[in-house]
Structure 1
Amino acid sequence: MLPMEEYFGKLELVYSFYGAMPTGVSLSETGRIFICFPKWGDDVRFTVAEIVEGRLQPYPNLETNTINPSNITMSFISVQSVIADGRGTLWVLDTAAPNFSEPIKGGAKLVAVDLNTNTIRKVYTFAEDVVLPTTYLNDVRFDFRVGKSGYAYITDSSSIGPGAIIVVNLENGNAFRRLNGANSTSPDPYFLPKVEGEILMNRNTDGSTSPFRLASDGIAISPDGKMLFFCPLTSRHLYSISTEALRDRTIPDFNLHYHVQYWGEKGASDGLITDAKGNVYAGDYENDSIRKILPNGIMETIAHDPRILWPDTFSIGPDQHLYVIVNQLHRQARFHYGKDMRQKPYSLLRIKIDELPAPTF
């Protein structure tokens, strides 16, 4: 028997998905688990779900998950991210862009769902200069300690337009784009992703190919809310910026990049998350790994496992576990000349980290 690559990190299987492909996971402060399924071609019966007694249930109900063309602001179209904020609200980020289409007008939104009553409490929609025809709303983080009602920070991970961080004042819904098309929110043009030993690129059914490019995707906020970490999906780089600078519109966008801090390479990541001590957790989809980046910049790998086939979104539960959706995104048909290489089930895994999630208030 010849020596083989070593794997480590004690991962537990939490849930197996035999239907549509999930992207997002979030645990509430009481341990409720929420999942989202964007409409990327699978048969998605509901785009937001809760795992209840080992089964997926549409959340908050099936009606909300059914597109109502006459009331698209109150129905979920294609949800990319769900975030429980630690104080009784589940935030739902609706791309309104099934199959990465142009967002349906008026459909892209951030929705606050009250976890006590399981009803929609507030909906934030976006102007056309915020959600562009090329926009793909990807992930969101919150800080309720600034302003009257707090702020949200959303990544635009467009594949053909400018990447950006969208800042939302939750008091009045005013939103604006920051770092629009900046290097830090854009795909790394020199990056060549390699997953499972093969180069990852768009491979179309007609035999044509093109580079895989996605802008700012992963996002995490420091425990004090003062620093935002972010990364483009097709890049190995980690960046941060002061949230105060992001909110300060007297700093013009062309000067804002001077406030961006570069943290170096962390591996190529989809999702990011921070714990209460300020550690950043990042997937490395090229190496089936999960990394932990300490506040001093030191990095360590906490899990390296062949089952980590594209670590997508992270959440830290009240049980001090790090949860991760593993969804084989790189095996989708669009990367393999139209042949779907994914193997069910997709999975929700967790690993004990002995840390609590970063507070938002």
Structure 2
Amino acid sequence: MLRLPMEQYFGQFEPVFLFYGAMPTGVTVSETGRIFVCFPKWGDDVKFTVAEIVGDTLQPYPNLETNLVNPWNIAMSFISVQSVVADGRGTLWVLDTAAPNFSEPIIGGAKLVAVDLKTNTISKVYTFREDVVLPTTYLNDVRFDFRVGKAGYAYITDSSSSGPGAIIVVDLENGNAFRRLNGANSTSPDPYFLPKVEGRILMNRNKDGSTSPFRLASDGIAISPDGKTLFFCPLTSRQLYSISTEALRDRTIPDMNLRYYVKYWGEKGASDGMITDAQGNVYAGDYENNSIRKILPNGIMETIAHDPRILWPDTFSIGPDQYLYVIVNQLHRQARFHYGVDLRQKPYCLLRMKIDELPAPTFE
């Protein structure tokens, strides 16, 4: 039988965990090697929205009670978590969209929660005003820098599908939060971008046969090792941008002028998650090409993995073991993109590949 030339795949991956239940989105590895994942409520049977991988099992984290929505105390219960981030100094940060099935965020439910990894208890909860978390807001991912301010700052992407995208800046000392680059081109979907995954155009395809373009605002986010530069990208775009974190925090710069502080890095491929290592390299998925890119500090981009198993690389994390961890969840095969037919095939995967680099530090 004649064998014709085929596409070349490369990059050495190994599976860390296989998910046979709900679809995961977020992953983070703590400084001690503990692995946490999250499951937003997008229609799957989500029994707990935050979990720790313990051996070959998933354990609700910090406990099952916190993962059960308490209508009388929504600030202390997880509603629908999109992202989890270990900060390298003993805290797991949980970003709760409070927007199951992409609904309007439940008032008072959208929050950033700090969990003490030594005691496995909630130590701080930051909720947001209605001028920060809008009815259209979808809190997506978060990065930290504890070298500025009295308690550090957090930077959160709003990846709205129908409203303005933005970077939400949070002063962790007092919880004061404000929107930056609100509706700017750099945080907005690219109106000319037509995503193509597994050879097919990706768009919203409803049960009734109606269709609409797939549009999501700022999503991927990464911070430089010195905390001075924030990288970000809209989900439906192939472009990479960055901005000085000092400019983001400086409210004397009007938001309409902040766009002049944005740096354009070029086309890196369409990405969901991003992460930075201690050398300042940015890692970004390319969900159109089943690939992972590495962007060097000098702007040179290279593909470090291209593998048919990378079916929608979602969130990245770098562990103390110098591995790059990535959630692969077939997001593009969800029913909402295929006239109500769910094309996902279990298991979803947590994969890792050796990069011989440590994660970017968040503190001195």
Q: In which range does the TM-score fall when normalised by the shorter chain?
A: over 0.9
| Alignment match, 2:43 | 41
| Alignment match, 1:333 | 335
| Alignment match, 1:94 | 96
Secondary structure of 1:300's partner?
Answer: strand
> Which of 171, 182, 185 is matched with 1:183 structurally?
185
| Alignment match, 1:301 | 303
Distance 2:350 2:124 in 1: 29
| Alignment match, 2:204 | 202
Residue 60 of structure 2 corresponds to residue 65 of structure 1: no
Distance 1:28 1:323 in 2: 12
Distance 1:254 1:104 in 2: 29
Q: How big is the shift at 1:167?
A: 0.1
Q: How big is the shift at 1:158?
A: 0.1
Q: How big is the shift at 1:100?
A: 0.2
| Alignment match, 1:247 | 249
> Which of 329, 352, 356 is matched with 1:350 structurally?
352
| Alignment match, 2:238 | 236
Q: How big is the shift at 1:53?
A: 1.4
Q: How big is the shift at 1:249?
A: 0.1
> Which of 18, 39, 42 is matched with 1:16 structurally?
18
Secondary structure of 2:140's partner?
Answer: strand
Distance 1:15 1:150 in 2: 33
Deviation sequence 1:176-228 (CA, Å, 0-9, x none): 00000000000000000000000000000000000000000000000000000
Distance 2:233 2:189 in 1: 9
Distance 1:228 1:54 in 2: 35
For 1:182, the aligned partner's letter is A
Distance 1:150 1:207 in 2: 48
| Alignment match, 1:138 | 140
Distance 2:350 2:304 in 1: 17
The 5 Å alignment of 1:118-137 reads 118-137=120-139
| Alignment match, 2:82 | 80
Aligned Cα root-mean-square deviation (Å): 0.2
Q: How big is the shift at 1:125?
A: 0.1
The 5 Å alignment of 1:132-171 reads 132-171=134-173
Deviation sequence 1:290-340 (CA, Å, 0-9, x none): 000000000110000000000000000000000000000000000000000
Deviation sequence 1:99-138 (CA, Å, 0-9, x none): 0000000000000000000000000000000000000000
Distance 2:5 2:208 in 1: 41
| Alignment match, 2:313 | 311
For 1:338, the aligned partner's letter is G
Residue 40 of structure 2 corresponds to residue 50 of structure 1: no
Secondary structure of 1:258's partner?
Answer: helix
Deviation sequence 1:23-44 (CA, Å, 0-9, x none): 0000000000000000000000
Q: How big is the shift at 1:65?
A: 0.1
Deviation sequence 1:59-107 (CA, Å, 0-9, x none): 0000000000000000000000000000000000000000000000000
| Alignment match, 2:6 | 4
Distance 1:92 1:296 in 2: 32
Distance 1:315 1:54 in 2: 19
Distance 1:253 1:205 in 2: 40
Secondary structure of 2:232's partner?
Answer: strand
Percent identity reads 88
Distance 2:45 2:183 in 1: 33
For 2:163, the aligned partner's letter is G
For 2:15, the aligned partner's letter is L
Distance 1:345 1:54 in 2: 14
Secondary structure of 2:321's partner?
Answer: coil
Distance 2:252 2:308 in 1: 48
* TM-score with structure 2 setting the length: 0.99
For 1:308, the aligned partner's letter is I
Aligned length: 361
For 2:150, the aligned partner's letter is K
Distance 1:196 1:54 in 2: 30
* TM-score with structure 1 setting the length: 1.00
Q: How big is the shift at 1:347?
A: 0.1
Q: How big is the shift at 1:54?
A: 1.3
For 2:344, the aligned partner's letter is R
